[in-house]
């Protein structure tokens, strides 16, 4: 019996096992998700938030779960913004703000806020104006680096 026939007979007899092994390998490759140290992955199941994967090796259910968003958890910096504010003694001052932030809850960032940078900039501008409005010009100048 030639070697080709032996190989063909072996494959035909074990084709089901071979297909199962290939299916198993595909399922394992689709199920394992490796998340880098600087990211978190938001997982959706059937289009709804299911979980958030942290850094390291994670498992998901293939074909049901999908990585919807990859969120960087590194510290970010907004561009320096200049804004006008009025002090308690009615003096107009120009304030330069520099904002650093880090995302701690990626699911809220993805599903509740459309533009994170813009939302933070607007919030910071309002807070700065409110705080400057509580101080006299002398206090503002004394707290320049705060």
- Taking the C-alpha atoms of residue 118 and residue 18, their distance in angstroms, rounded to an integer, is 54
- Taking the C-alpha atoms of residue 28 and residue 119, their distance in angstroms, rounded to an integer, is 40
pTM score above 0.75: no
Q: Do 84 and 61 have their domain in common?
A: no
Q: Do 61 and 106 have their domain in common?
A: no
Q: Do 7 and 61 have their domain in common?
A: yes
Q: Is the pLDDT of residue 146 over 80?
A: no
Q: Do 54 and 84 have their domain in common?
A: no
Q: 3-class DSSP state for residue 108?
A: helix
Q: In terms of residue numbers, what domain contains 24? A: 3-72
Q: Express as a percent the part of the chain with pLDDT over 70.
A: 97
Domain boundary among 36, 54, 72: 72
pLDDT confidence of residue 34: 96
Complete DSSP assignment for 64-88: TEEEEEEEE-S-EEPPPEEEEEE-T
Q: Do 58 and 100 have their domain in common?
A: no
**Residue bearing tokens 């705080």:** 131
Domain boundary among 21, 46, 72: 72
Q: Do 50 and 19 have their domain in common?
A: yes
Domain boundary among 19, 41, 72: 72
How many domains does the chain fold into? Answer: 2
């Amino acid at each position: 019996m030639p070697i080709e026939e032996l190989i063909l007979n072996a494959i035909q007899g074990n084709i089901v096992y071979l297909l199962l092994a290939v299916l198993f390998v595909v399922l394992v490759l689709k199920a394992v998700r490796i998340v880098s140290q600087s990211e978190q992955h938001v997982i959706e199941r059937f289009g709804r938030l299911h979980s958030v994967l942290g850094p390291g090796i994670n498992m998901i259910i293939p074909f049901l779960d999908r990585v919807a968003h990859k969120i960087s958890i590194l510290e970010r910096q907004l561009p320096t913004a200049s804004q006008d504010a009025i002090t308690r003694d009615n003096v107009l001052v120009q304030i330069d703000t520099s904002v650093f932030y880090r995302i701690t809850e990626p699911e809220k960032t993805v599903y509740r806020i459309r533009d994170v940078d813009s939302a933070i900039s607007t919030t910071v501008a309002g807070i700065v104006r409110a705080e400057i409005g509580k101080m006299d010009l002398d206090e503002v100048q004394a707290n320049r680096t705060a």
